Structure 1
Amino acid sequence: MSAPDRRSRFPASQPRQGGRSGDAPLTIVERPATLVQVNARKGRQAELVAAIAKTLALALPDAGRTATAADMAALWLQPGSWLIEAPAGRRGELPGTLAQTLNGIAAVVDQSHGRCVIEISGAEARAVLARLCRLDLHERAFAAGDSAATLVGHVSCLIHRTGGEAPCFRLVVGSTFAEWLLHELTAAAASYGWRFTPAGEAAA
């Protein structure tokens, strides 16, 4: 099996930091991932849900939600369509496995090179995103496991909130817009202080 692709989607793929320094700056991390979109064929959604549950032990979520199992997650995109997020090390086999398993049931599209995952965490993560996004990201309105498609700054993203004590959000963005999104995030975080770690430097 080939080594997982952990190449950064950022031209200057070195750790960076900026803004006001502090004990707990905002953390921005590029997370290498295998991303596979599955789209149910007409009348086959129930079969798709059952096949994913059997093959990956992952329950495809309802609208606006994310489901997790072990080291994978499934994000709802639209009726009959989900994005599967798995570790970068599965990029060599997961798309092919799903294409074979779901043959005739769903269209399977490997999005691993076309999209990337940026994680933003820390005490001020929600405050920073609030400067860029119209969604109400307070935990009462956008809890762990919630997801939505939205604009962050001027960039279209799929955002979902993960669990944990400190606020943590993952943004799935087109790879060609990743640097632009990072610029928007770091500008919004300048008053708090931030640290960015690209793929290759971060653990997968």
Structure 2
Amino acid sequence: MTLELVAGEDRFNIEARRGRTAELIAAIGAAFGQAPADGPQTVEAGGFSFVGVGPSRWHAIARGKDRAPRRAALIAAARDLATVVDVSHGFTAFRLSGPRAADALVKLVRLDLDPAAFPPGAAAATELHGMSVQLRRTTAGHAYECAVARSFAASLYNALIHASHQYAVWVDLAEEV
């Protein structure tokens, strides 16, 4: 099992204006080739991971070296349909991967992480060891990402290490992804 710090990402909070959710979903779909799901699901489109984090609300996560043009395209697609706020500085994310990742996480969250209940791409805002986190299973399905307010990063790291230690966790400070 591997625990990685996810570095080099831009994270934007997108919140649809009242009554404009359907238009926003369609506009993002037209701009990026696939519309985000209106619910707790991750959709990969146009170099973004669109993660449903609440009603009419998503986090758009961009990784890689060409993030500036994607950011501009996101803002253009949202135009007067939503508020888009860069929240990159406010979150720290860790990725836990490996065949026993769910076994470690289930010690910390009150969610059923069975693949039938929490399939690849699933997302949830939940509590993990007393912290509010955004948990998502990657669309490839082999890893989980936990994002937390950056002031709780050390606490999240320690909780994940403690829950994973019996599975021989390997810690990797990730390069930009």
TM-score, normalization: structure 1?
Answer: 0.78
Check whether the contact 2:31–2:73 (CA below 8 A) recurs between aligned residues: no
Deviations 1:126-154 (A, max 9, x none): 11001111101011211111111111112
Check whether the contact 2:32–2:46 (CA below 8 A) recurs between aligned residues: no
Instruction: Report whether the alignment pairs 1:31 with 2:38.
Output: no
| Equivalent of residue 173 in structure 1, options 148, 156, 159 | 148
Check whether the contact 2:64–2:176 (CA below 8 A) recurs between aligned residues: no
> What is the aligned-residue identity percentage?
30
Match of 1:121 in 2: 97
Deviation of 1:88 after TM superposition, in Å, equals 4.6
Which whole-Å CA distance do the structure 2 matches of 1:70 and 1:99 have between them? 13
Deviations 1:146-186 (A, max 9, x none): 11111111221111112447x41111221221111000000
| Equivalent of residue 31 in structure 2, options 55, 65, 75 | 55
- Cα RMSD, aligned residues only: 1.9
Which whole-Å CA distance do the structure 2 matches of 1:177 and 1:120 have between them? 17
TM-score, normalization: structure 2?
Answer: 0.89
SS at match of 1:89: coil
| Equivalent of residue 194 in structure 1, options 124, 147, 169 | 169
Which whole-Å CA distance do the structure 2 matches of 1:79 and 1:65 have between them? 12
Which structure has more helix as a fraction of its residues? 2
SS at match of 1:141: coil
5+ residue gaps, structure 1, are 1-25
Which whole-Å CA distance do the structure 2 matches of 1:107 and 1:99 have between them? 9
Match of 1:12 in 2: none
SS at match of 2:79: coil
Match of 2:87 in 1: 111
Check whether the contact 2:131–2:152 (CA below 8 A) recurs between aligned residues: yes
Which whole-Å CA distance do the structure 2 matches of 1:71 and 1:172 have between them? 19
Match of 1:66 in 2: 42
Cα 1:102–1:119 shift into 2, 3 Å: same
Rg (Cα) greater in structure: 1
SS at match of 2:25: helix
Match of 1:22 in 2: none
Cα 1:92–1:175 shift into 2, 3 Å: farther
Match of 2:18 in 1: 42
Deviations 1:171-204 (A, max 9, x none): 12212211110000001112122122224xx341
Instruction: Report whether the alignment pairs 1:185 with 2:164.
Output: no
The residue identity in structure 2 corresponding to 1:155 is M
Deviation of 1:56 after TM superposition, in Å, equals 1.9
The residue identity in structure 1 corresponding to 2:125 is A
